[in-house]
């Protein structure tokens, strides 16, 4: 350790821009298989491959400005070649590979050892909800959401955890939704447009733009990757009816698996072709209604009957696929799972379009009901939240 206990450690550039507390390494040794085993004073140890450390070392692999690795694999040291290491007086790891030397930030290495680099690590864990505990949408006061990053962090964190969060007290201005999205990330465009209107049109272009009720559904299951989040902002609401309904797909899937095993099996394994029928668009995808995707992919519920085009399964499976869908819709509308609430001007509701099913009650056309809507991919909301979390965690550390 440094002889001057108050001295700052000699800076080491870590990979990336996430701040890491300094976690001095207490010992390091090279193993015969090319790994370096490091340990910390609290007893935690971690084996890191020498060539991976080369890529991530300050002074060798890392570019000091962009903080990314710059070594093409063909230029990496030869595995099993000369390598030495030592822990310096500040607790950082210094390694030499032949004539190259680099230092490893010990806090960054500890963060990897603890899994802090994994995609979901800085994000809140999902909270599975039903109307036993959640009787109205989780709500955040949005008065200062355009100027206060703590409000934005609270809203996006709650949205990530519950798959649903309502901002209240926002300006009922048709431009506000686009402005707020500008503080998060790029809007995902679609055949509906960049930011679109939901209201009863004299000549509607979709069921959404009528006063008809809409059963529980998810938008755009016709896409390989349906939009991750949907945002609806209420500008005017003078109608009776038209309440929103939300069902947590995680609770729905759990209920189906627990109490409707046959339907669950059919819904998770039998494929459907989804296809939109717009004049100027022809998106198609094929998959089950409850789509777990591949490893590391999130759940996608593909549930929108207007674009569910044809079964793609053995003929003998089609009747049970229909029965399973009836069970799905029945459970999705069960009052124990389905939340129902009105829209007020200034309410802005975000929800995870791949997890949470949404619908609405019919409404009369005696007044105006005007919502503005848009989509954003999971990637961009999560990225913004991770960046906000960097500051948030720093502030928490100082309080
Ligand atoms: Fe919808």
The helix/strand/coil state of 353 is: coil
Could you say which DSSP state residue 348 is in? E
The residue with greater pLDDT, 351 or 240, is 351
- Band of the pLDDT at 276, cuts 50, 70, 90? confident
Q: How far is the CA of 244 from the centre of ligand 1 (A)?
A: 11
> Which of the listed CATH numbers 3.30.70.260, 1.20.140.10, 3.30.2020.30, 3.40.50.450 matches domain 25-117?
3.30.2020.30
Q: How far is the CA of 34 from the centre of ligand 1 (A)?
A: 54
Q: Could you report the per-residue pLDDT of 147-185, keeping only the tens digit for each?
A: 999 999 999 999 999 999 999 999 999 999 999 999 999
64 pLDDT above the threshold of 80: yes
Q: Could you report the per-residue pLDDT of 8-22, keeping only the tens digit for each?
A: 778 999 999 999 999
Closest to 317 in 3D by CA, of 267, 247, 276: 267
Q: Is the pTM of this model over 0.85?
A: yes
Closest to 246 in 3D by CA, of 318, 162, 322: 162
Q: How far is the CA of 385 from the centre of ligand 1 (A)?
A: 24
Q: How far is the CA of 245 from the centre of ligand 1 (A)?
A: 11
Q: How far is the CA of 361 from the centre of ligand 1 (A)?
A: 12
- Residue 79 has what pLDDT? 87
Residue 284's Cβ-side half-sphere holds a number of Cα atoms within 13 Å equal to 8
Q: How far is the CA of 198 from the centre of ligand 1 (A)?
A: 10
Domain boundaries 139-390, corresponding CATH code: 3.60.130.10
Q: Of the ranges 8-12, 110-114, 272-276, which one carries the lowest mean pLDDT score?
A: 8-12
Largest CA distance in the chain: 81
Count of CB atoms within 10 A of residue 366's CB?
A: 9
Q: Could you report the per-residue pLDDT of 348-389, keeping only the tens digit for each?
A: 999 999 999 999 998 886 788 899 999 999 999 999 999 999
Q: How far is the CA of 208 from the centre of ligand 1 (A)?
A: 7
CA–CA dist 369, 248 (Å, integer): 25
CA–CA dist 263, 266 (Å, integer): 5
Q: How far is the CA of 133 from the centre of ligand 1 (A)?
A: 25
Q: How far is the CA of 383 from the centre of ligand 1 (A)?
A: 24
Q: How far is the CA of 100 from the centre of ligand 1 (A)?
A: 57
CA–CA dist 209, 50 (Å, integer): 59
- Residue 203 has what pLDDT? 67
In the chain, where the domains are located:
25-117, 139-390
- Residue 3 has what pLDDT? 43
- CA torsion through residues 102, 105, 106, 112, sign: negative
């Amino acid at each position: 350790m440094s002889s001057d206990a108050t001295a700052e450690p000699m800076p080491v550039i870590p990979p990336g821009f996430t701040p890491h507390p300094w976690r001095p390494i207490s010992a390091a040794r090279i193993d015969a298989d090319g790994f370096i085993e490091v340990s910390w004073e609290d007893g935690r140890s971690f084996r890191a491959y020498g060539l991976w450390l080369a890529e991530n070392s300050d002074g060798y692999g890392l570019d000091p400005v962009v903080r990314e690795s710059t070594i093409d694999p063909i230029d990496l040291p030869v595995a099993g070649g000369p390598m030495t290491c030592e822990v310096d007086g500040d607790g950082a790891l210094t390694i030499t590979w032949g004539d190259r030397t680099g230092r490893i930030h010990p806090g960054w290495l500890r963060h990897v050892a603890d899994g802090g680099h994994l995609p979901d690590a800085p994000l809140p864990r999902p909270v599975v909800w039903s109307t036993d505990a959640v009787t109205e949408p989780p709500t955040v006061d949005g008065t200062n959401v355009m100027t206060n990053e703590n409000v934005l962090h609270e809203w996006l964190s709650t949205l990530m955890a519950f798959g649903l969060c309502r901002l209240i007290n926002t300006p009922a201005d048709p431009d506000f939704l686009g402005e707020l999205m500008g503080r998060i990330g790029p809007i995902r465009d679609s055949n509906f447009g960049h930011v679109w209107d939901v209201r009863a049109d004299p000549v509607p272009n979709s069921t959404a733009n009528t006063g008809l009720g809409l059963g529980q559904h998810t938008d755009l299951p016709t896409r390989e990757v349906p939009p991750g989040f949907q945002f609806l902002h209420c500008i005017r609401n003078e109608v009776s009816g038209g309440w929103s309904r939300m069902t947590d797909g995680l609770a729905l899937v759990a209920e189906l698996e627990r109490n409707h095993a046959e339907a669950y099996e059919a819904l998770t394994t039998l494929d459907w072709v989804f296809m939109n029928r717009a004049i100027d668009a022809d998106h198609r995808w094929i998959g089950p209604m409850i789509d777990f995707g591949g490893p590391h992919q999130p759940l996608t519920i593909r549930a929108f009957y207007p674009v569910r085009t044809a079964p793609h399964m053995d003929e003998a499976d089609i009747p049970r696929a229909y029965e399973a869908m009836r069970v799905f819709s029945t459970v999705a509308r069960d009052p124990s799972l389905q939340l129902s609430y009105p829209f007020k001007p200034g309410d802005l509701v975000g929800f995870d379009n791949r997890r949470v099913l949404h619908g609405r009650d019919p409404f009369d056309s005696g007044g105006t009901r005007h919502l503005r809507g848009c989509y954003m991919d999971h990637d961009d909301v999560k990225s913004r939240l991770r960046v906000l979390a960097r500051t948030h965690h720093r502030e928490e550390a100082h309080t």
